[in-house]
Amino acid sequence: MTSRGALRSDARGAVSLELAVALLPVLALGAWVWHALELRAGELVVRCAAGAAARAAVVVLADDPAYYAGEAVGRFAGARKAQIELAAARVLASSAQLRSPRVELGTSAPGGALTARVSARFESWPAEARTLTASASAPLQGARYAY
Does 3 fall in a domain?
Answer: no
Give the per-residue pLDDT at 77. Answer: 92
Strand partners, 119: 102, 133
Residue 105 maps to a domain: yes
C-alpha neighbours within 13 Å on the C-beta side of residue 84: 31
Q: CATH code at 94?
A: 3.30.1300
- Domain count for the chain, please give it: 1
The verdict on pTM exceeding 0.85 is no
Q: Note whether 40 and 122 are within 8 A (CB).
A: no
Q: What is the pLDDT along the chain (147 residues), one digit of tens a residue?
A: 566 666 677 777 777 888 888 899 999 999 999 999 999 999 999 999 999 999 999 999 989 999 998 888 888 999 999 999 999 999 999 999 999 999 999 876 666 889 999 999 999 877 789 999 999 999 987 777 777
Quick one: three-class SS letters along 79-129? HHHHHHHHHHHHHHCCCCCEEEEEEEEEECCCCCEEEEEEEEEECCCCCCC
What is the span of the domain harbouring residue 134? 14-139
Neighbouring residues of 66: CB distance < 8 A, sequence distance ≥ 6 = 147
